[in-house]
């Protein structure tokens, strides 16, 4: 169990990815200041943006702040100022900073789920699909990298029941999306085992091992740092393939059709 400094309550660690201590607060990277969102009428006068547009603006700005400064170090008032609204106006869109965090996490996991299904659906061969989806996980914009950092660093908060209906609804959506992604991965890996493409193992444990290795990147990787995302991708995709039981060079062109590992028989329970 870990203790949340900002709320003073215990935070259970859930199994989807592995929670580790924060490593944020990068003062050398400036936080982009969002422009005051306005629309222009034909007569040249400006008008207020729609509630949906303003909400998206708040989510985008909050992701930038949480991802660079850290969730616990970001003030709700700073986000309001960057978006161009009063602090009290934020509560029209989100009940709290935590509510906003849950929405960011849910959106991040949902995006991963959609990408996973799209990429896997484009390949009939299991090994090719696995290589493709692992590579696709690193095909991210700088904003998406920051969103992943927020997702992983504050993932333990999803395990805390909330008494606020709006916070609890957003938390359940984030938690449900995480479970859906884990189930989709486990189903996919089980199919590979049935085809003899990878050695037999517990699909759920293998899923958590691969996702845990992938999520570990977002504890330390930062945009504009010393390593390119492409270099990180090449290193981690090979290691994820090894965890699955495939050669580390299976991602290289022409290697996807290499000999498949033999299936191993499970010993009968004594």
Residue 40 CA to residue 45 CA, distance in Å, equals 6
Return phi, psi of residue 160, to 5°.
-100, 120
What's the mean pLDDT when you consider all of the chain?
82
Residue 82 CA to residue 113 CA, distance in Å, equals 30
Closest CA to 57 of 88, 27, 33, 24: 33
In 84-199, which residue ranges form alpha helices assigned H by DSSP? Answer: 97-121, 126-136, 142-153, 165-194
Q: Is the pLDDT of residue 44 over 50?
A: no
pLDDT computed for residue 50 by the predictor: 67
Residue 114 CA to residue 99 CA, distance in Å, equals 23
Residue 197, CA atoms < 13 Å, CB-side half-sphere: 20
- 99 in Cβ contact with 58 (< 8 Å): no
- The β-bridge relationship of strands 46-48 and 38-40 is antiparallel
Residue 219 CA to residue 153 CA, distance in Å, equals 7
Q: What is the mean pLDDT of residues 151-180?
A: 94
Q: Is the pLDDT of residue 171 over 60?
A: yes
pLDDT computed for residue 223 by the predictor: 87
Q: Has this prediction a pTM greater than 0.85?
A: no
Which tops the pLDDT comparison, 40 or 68? Answer: 68
Which tops the pLDDT comparison, 264 or 231? Answer: 231
pLDDT computed for residue 216 by the predictor: 97
Q: Is the pLDDT of residue 148 over 60?
A: yes
pLDDT computed for residue 268 by the predictor: 38
Q: What is the mean pLDDT of residues 155-180?
A: 94
Which helix (H) or strand (E) segment holds residue 39: the answer is: strand 38-40
pLDDT computed for residue 255 by the predictor: 54
Over residues 54-112, the pLDDT tens digits come to 999 999 999 999 999 999 999 999 999 999 988 888 889 999 999 999 999 999 999 99
Q: Which domains, ranges and CATH numbers included, belong to the chain?
A: 2-27+102-251 (1.10.357.10)
Q: Round the CA-based radius of gyration of the chain to a whole number and report it.
A: 21
Residue 180 CA to residue 73 CA, distance in Å, equals 30
Q: What is the mean pLDDT of residues 251-263?
A: 51
Q: What is the mean pLDDT of residues 161-173?
A: 95
pLDDT computed for residue 253 by the predictor: 60
Residue 149 CA to residue 110 CA, distance in Å, equals 15
User: 21-30, 43-52, 135-144, 206-215: lowest mean pLDDT where?
Assistant: 21-30
Q: What is the mean pLDDT of residues 137-166?
A: 95
Return phi, psi of residue 38, to 5°.
-145, 150
């Amino acid at each position: 169990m870990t203790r949340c400094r900002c709320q003073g309550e215990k935070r259970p660690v859930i199994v989807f990815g592995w929670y580790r201590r924060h490593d944020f607060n990068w003062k050398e990277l400036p936080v982009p200041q969002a422009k005051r969102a306005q629309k222009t009428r034909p007569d040249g006068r400006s008008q207020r943006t729609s509630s949906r547009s303003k909400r998206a603006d708040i989510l985008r700005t909050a992701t930038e702040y949480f991802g660079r400064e850290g969730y616990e170090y970001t003030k709700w008032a700073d986000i309001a100022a960057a978006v161009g609204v009063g602090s009290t106006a934020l509560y029209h869109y989100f009940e709290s900073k935590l509510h906003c965090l849950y929405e960011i996490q849910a959106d991040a996991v949902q995006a991963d789920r959609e990408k996973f299904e799209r990429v896997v659906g484009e390949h009939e061969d299991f090994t090719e699909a696995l290589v493709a989806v692992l590579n696709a996980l690193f095909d991210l914009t700088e904003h998406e990298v920051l969103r992943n950092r927020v997702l992983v660093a504050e993932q333990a908060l999803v395990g805390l029941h909330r008494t606020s209906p709006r916070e609890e609804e957003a938390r359940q959506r984030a938690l449900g999306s995480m479970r859906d992604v884990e189930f989709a991965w486990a189903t996919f890996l089980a199919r590979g085992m049935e085809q003899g493409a990878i050695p037999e193992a517990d699909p759920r444990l293998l899923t958590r091992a691969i996702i845990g290795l992938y999520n570990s990147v977002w504890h330390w990787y930062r945009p504009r740092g010393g390593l390119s995302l492409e270099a990180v991708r090449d290193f981690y995709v090979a290691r994820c393939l090894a965890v699955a039981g495939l050669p580390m060079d299976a991602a290289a062109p022409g290697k996807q059709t290499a000999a498949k590992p033999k299936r191993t028989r499970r010993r009968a329970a004594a």
